[in-house]
Amino acid sequence: MSGRPEVLFPLFSALDSLPGIGPKSAVALEGAGIATPKDLALMLPANGTDRRLVPGLVGRETPVVTTVEVEIGRHHPPRQRGRPYRIDATASDATLQLVYFHAHRAWLEDQFPEGEQRIVSGKLEMFDGVYQMPHPDHVLEVQDLSSLPEFEPIYPLTEGVTQKAMTRAVHAAVERVPDLAEWADPALVAQEGWRGFKDALVQAHAPQSSADLAPSAPSRRRLAYDEVFAHQLTLALARANRRAKPGIETRGTGALRDKIIASLPYTPTGAQTRAIKEIDGDLAAPQRMNRLLQGDVGAGKTLVAVLAMATVVEAGGQAVLMAPTEVLARQHFSSVAPLCATAGVRVEVLTGRDKGAGRRAKLEALARGEIDVLIGTHAVFQDDVELHDLRLAVIDEQHRFGVAQRMKLGAKGTATDVLVMTATPIPRSLALAGYGDMDVSVLDEKPPGRTPVTTALVSDGRMDEVVQHLRDAIGQGRQAYWVCPLVEESEVLHFTAAEERFKRLRAALGDDVVGLVHGRMAPEEKDAAMAAFSGGQTRVLVATTVIEVGVDVPNASIMVVEGAERFGLSQLHQLRGRVGRGAAASTCLLMYKPPLGETAQKRLETLRETEDGFRISEVDLELRGAGDLIGMAQSGLPRFRIADLEHQAGLMATAQTDARALLEKDPDLTSSRGQAARVLLWLMEQDRAIRLISVG
């Protein structure tokens, strides 16, 4: 695709070409991620101030922004250094003082001639029974009132840039936006009653009231749509691009799979069967698979992955299962190996810990095709890892791996199919934002034999009762996790807290009963602690959040989370999912330090009320916003300037449908709407998409 269209050049010029922005301000803005006039034009006001003229001051609740007409009275220059300069003024029903610090007398006398009328607008305060307005934001002659907007937009500021300079620069940037051809679906534009892009932008920068600042305001919805449409178009192009490259048609006989299913003590759920069917269809297709397997805690994703890998092995290929941490990779190995062994599938584990001759032997066996399934951490990415015939890459907990790593793994095989698994239920809008290029299978049923978990909220004042509850449970042969609170201040404190709790519980319950695992331990120590707990030698495992995902000890039926108010909802849901895996009735005790803030209370109550991870993820999105949702910062999830995924979730789905439909009709974006869409991609700097459109 040829370079940026000329019509957009003015929007990508230097920032200091705008009025009010000098070289210093330009550097400050660049530090805040604003590098071009286009970035300023797309920076919508964060809130606004009512600047309507009021008839008088009496009865106004101070402090409040007020615009009033006054007659200027006497000036009172300061008698000592550091004292303020005061100017008397009279409104229709009260007197007030205009107060300035460090202002030049000549300038003030020029601005406020005694006996003349002025409009002043700023924060009205009451001080010692007298109305005051320190440093008014606006001072106008009466005939210039119309130049003051009744509702003044307020922009997010960067150090060294004033609101006045920012407003001036933003308006100049918006003036540079050309009239662009329409890229949105005409039916959608008509249905929503939207204006064109430029009109919507002008309107969004001139709000008439706070209603115009809401995500539901038509101009904001239009602009949010344009932003997510550009993003979904990029993902749809990536998907089309990948589908155009030939994959390998992989069909199994079902023999190995049947052996694995026959060895299970239960029948797979309907959701598991459906997911397997979808994956089989992808493996057998001539295009490469790129599928997300999304399941709630304990919905049985691992079994689906094992059955998919069995199909690949039946067809003579190899599969890789990749986990984000060493603990998890070894955990997967211990759960996958026995299932595979029933069907004679050869499984090995490779992590950063493998060294020397042992590692070399594994690599040689892999290259010769003597290992069918390799389980590992990102050590699998290393250049010396060669596979004989890699057909399928399964990636666990995708939000820990970026898109680039996903591609790198795919490159290990000639046309590798990719299956991504996540145990973090993601609200639909976020799933579309992060994985819009993928096809999705959802596991929304729990396998039989999983017991519901009773969740209770307990204040930390009842610590002794909780310890007694553990003592009784241990006496009945049960096991428990004790997760220590997140200590924000420092990693060191985090482990100190865990070690302190470990010592206290050992003192209360007995030395050989309590184990400890945290991120600072050597891998061998971690494994030993996990093994002692899995084997039942220790009955209580004190841990930091190392155990959040994937740890499976069916006999553990109690989860204590200390300082639960410090954890995110999805994280607490993951932790709770570590229990309820066996036959015993399970409990999750969320210990908190009262009093609870409103958000923390809503989080903990949501957990007490439901075990549905998808419902929990929607509440989490509502409470925390998209940016903070678990792991999203690392996921490569786009940071949208305008779109608000909490309040505009539906737009993301509409944009995905539109983008895929446009590419089906016009794969090279050469129609008039396709050409307009190309301009949008350049405008929104979707470089990845631009590279994917090979036709100029």
pLDDT in tens, 294-307: 887 778 888 999 99
For residue 275, the model assigns a pLDDT of 96
pLDDT at 693 over 90: no
Place of tokens 């307990």: 458
Cβ burial, residue 94 (10 Å; 0-12/13-18/19+): middle
| Between 576 and 397, residue with greater pLDDT | 576
For residue 628, the model assigns a pLDDT of 46
Q: Which domains does the chain have, with CATH numbers?
A: 52-148 (2.40.50.140), 255-443 (3.40.50.300), 453-610 (3.40.50.300)
Cβ within 8 Å of residue 185, ≥6 positions away = 658, 661, 662
Whether the Cβ atoms of residue 418 and residue 406 lie closer than 8 Å to each other: yes
For residue 103, the model assigns a pLDDT of 84
CA distance 588 to 577: 9
Write out the two tokens for 103: 């202002």
pLDDT in tens, 332-366: 898 899 999 999 999 999 988 888 899 999 999 99
| Between 476 and 82, residue with greater pLDDT | 476
206: helix, coil or strand?
coil
| Between 138 and 245, residue with greater pLDDT | 138
For residue 239, the model assigns a pLDDT of 80
Mean pLDDT lowest for which of 32-41, 128-137, 408-417, 637-646? Answer: 408-417
For residue 694, the model assigns a pLDDT of 46
Element holding 26 (H helix, E strand): helix 23-31
For residue 407, the model assigns a pLDDT of 56
For residue 627, the model assigns a pLDDT of 44
264: helix, coil or strand?
coil
| Between 153 and 429, residue with greater pLDDT | 153
CA distance 412 to 250: 17
Cβ within 8 Å of residue 530, ≥6 positions away = 327, 331, 517, 541, 551
CA distance 487 to 12: 43
pLDDT in tens, 500-526: 899 999 999 998 899 998 877 887 888
CA distance 626 to 635: 12
For residue 614, the model assigns a pLDDT of 76
State the chain's mean pLDDT as an integer: 87
Find the DSSP H helices in 112-254: 163-175, 186-192, 197-204, 218-244
Strand partners, 47: 154
Whether the Cβ atoms of residue 428 and residue 649 lie closer than 8 Å to each other: yes
CA distance 526 to 522: 6
For residue 493, the model assigns a pLDDT of 61
Average pLDDT over residues 419-426: 79
For residue 546, the model assigns a pLDDT of 59
pLDDT at 455 over 90: yes
Using pLDDT thresholds of 50, 70 and 90, give the confidence band for residue 548: very low
Mean pLDDT lowest for which of 305-309, 411-415, 582-586, 593-597? Answer: 411-415
For residue 444, the model assigns a pLDDT of 81
CA distance 658 to 681: 15
Cβ burial, residue 190 (10 Å; 0-12/13-18/19+): exposed
CA distances from 242 to 245, 247, 308, 410 (A): 5, 9, 21, 11
For residue 93, the model assigns a pLDDT of 94
CA distances from 420 to 130, 174, 315, 395 (A): 66, 41, 21, 5
pLDDT at 488 over 70: no
Eight-state DSSP code of residue 654: H
For residue 403, the model assigns a pLDDT of 53
Mean pLDDT lowest for which of 179-183, 309-313, 568-572, 672-676? Answer: 568-572
In angstroms and rounded to an integer, the radius of gyration of the C-alpha atoms of the chain is: 31
Using pLDDT thresholds of 50, 70 and 90, give the confidence band for residue 551: low
Average pLDDT over residues 462-472: 94
314: helix, coil or strand?
helix
pLDDT at 549 over 70: no
Pairing of strands 540-543, 556-561: unpaired
Closest CA to 481 of 564, 574, 580, 578: 578
Percent of the chain having pLDDT more than 70?
Answer: 90
Cβ burial, residue 115 (10 Å; 0-12/13-18/19+): exposed
For residue 2, the model assigns a pLDDT of 62
Angle at 590 between CA 553 and CA 529, to 5 degrees: 35
pLDDT in tens, 620-677: 777 765 444 433 333 445 678 898 877 787 898 899 999 999 999 999 999 999 999 9
For residue 495, the model assigns a pLDDT of 64
pTM, full prediction: 0.71
Cβ burial, residue 675 (10 Å; 0-12/13-18/19+): middle
Using pLDDT thresholds of 50, 70 and 90, give the confidence band for residue 402: low
326: amino acid identity, one letter: E
Element holding 469 (H helix, E strand): helix 463-475
487: helix, coil or strand?
coil
Using pLDDT thresholds of 50, 70 and 90, give the confidence band for residue 380: confident
Pairing of strands 390-396, 318-322: parallel
- Residue 158: how many other CB atoms lie within 10 Å: 16
For residue 630, the model assigns a pLDDT of 36
Residue 154 exposure: Cα atoms within 13 Å on the Cβ side: 10
